[in-house]
Amino acid sequence: MNERDPIVITGIGLAAPNGSSRGEYRAALLQGRSGVVAFETRHLGIVPAGVCEFDEFQYQRASVRRKGTRAGSVAIYCARQALQDSQLDWPNVAVDRVGICLGITEHGNVETENQIHELGQYNNDLGTWSNYHNSRTVANNPAGEVSINLGITGPHLTIGAACAAGNAGLIHGAQLLTLGEIDVALAGGVSESIRSFGIFASFHSQRALARHDDPTKASRPFDLNRNGIVVSEGGGVFVLERLSDARRRHARIYAEIAGYAMNSDARDLVNPFSERQRQCMELALRRAGIDADEVCYLGTHATGTDRGDAVECESIQGLFGDRSGIHITNTKSLIGHTMGAAGAMETAALLSAFEDGLIHPTINLDDRDPQCDLKQLVTQSPRDLGNFEYGMVNSFGMLGINSTVVLRRPRQPMI
């Protein structure tokens, strides 16, 4: 990291299953209010899922929205909210010096599946096939949709990093700023996953799709009776700047990006590896220039799968042991797994904790799995930490991609 001019977060835009703004999201987390509902999807019927309720047309005309993707609409909403929150003088920002770095698991599947279904209804008449198919499915969508919507002419990148993608977007945005390639980054992650039956079907075939009579209780990280992933949609986009630029315009600073790391298991398509996860966390701490005992907050990746949760707990215990100074939490118990946005959701929770000093509880933990016996896990009700300096967010993904981001409480008061 560039110690002379750190990268800071000055704006937050969010669309979550339990809130369409950072304030709504924060209130729901602290209240332990789930955003998971019963959702009907093609071929599988009713499943628990995290559904976002933001207004798609707040920043897009209906005619433009029809040409794009659900992921693009999530990204545009979050990017616009983040810019508004940052209080940047947007009409006077040099748009060729703004970069867009958005992580994602997949995109375009929603519209493609719908087109294939419609094709079958019309005897495979290719006249029903949209001429926007290619622009919806190319790898640089949805960042490209944000670029067009906001008139940003700097680089736009959609970063495929499975469920580590939200962190990857943040990391890449910070790197471009450190290199001096841009002056402002819109960075984070988005997900449209619930609109595609294929992702539900795949987890179902893997016996990794959560089921429960009460959808709000379906997402159960660390619980002995967890039975899989609750698929969710959402997005988190952050405005990043160099500290000197943020101070020059008297911006409110939420946090400094103190360190980060990404690595690969290089072992298996789906099964995680605790040693490589631990090494990722260690590298992020080393780059931040701190020891493990300086971390007070840890946002976990845990998705509610048997092996995934147990392996992450093993990696956490291998690094932190039973040290009482760290406090561990999880957002997926409240909103499900937002896939490419997962790291961004955890980051948004950490940024709020820097402000109010509270760590939200992990819910649905009725019978803790002995393999997930993290004694520092916050449950039942929020825990008041007061002012703390460092927090960490983990996000791990399929094909063995791991990411960790370390954030530092701003060195100047937040305004």
Catalytic residue among 163, 280, 296, 372: 163
Decide if 163 is catalytic: yes
- Strand blocks (E) in 208-294: 231-232, 234-242, 255-264
Using a 10 angstrom Cβ sphere, with 0-12 exposed, 13-18 middle and 19 or more buried, the burial of residue 34 is: buried
DSSP H helices, 179-305, are 197-205, 243-248, 274-288
Element (H, E) at 308: helix 306-320
Are 112 and 130 in contact, with CB atoms under 8 Å apart?
no
Please identify which of the residues 280, 337, 360, 372 carries the catalytic annotation. 337
| Residue of 301, 313, 327, 360 marked active site | 301
As a whole number of angstroms, the distance between CA 300 and CA 218 comes to 18
360 counts as catalytic: no
Q: Which residues contact 23 (CB under 8 A, 6 or more apart)?
A: none
223 is written with which tokens?
């619980």
Backbone angles phi, psi at 390, to 5 degrees: -125, 140
3 state SS of 115: helix
Q: What share of the chain is helix, strand, coil (3-state, %, to 5)?
A: 40, 25, 35
| Amino acid symbol at 229 | I
Whether 250 is catalytic: no
| Beta pairing partners, 392 | 298, 406
Nearest-10 crossing angle of helices 109-121, 197-205: 100
| Catalytic residue annotation | 163, 301, 337
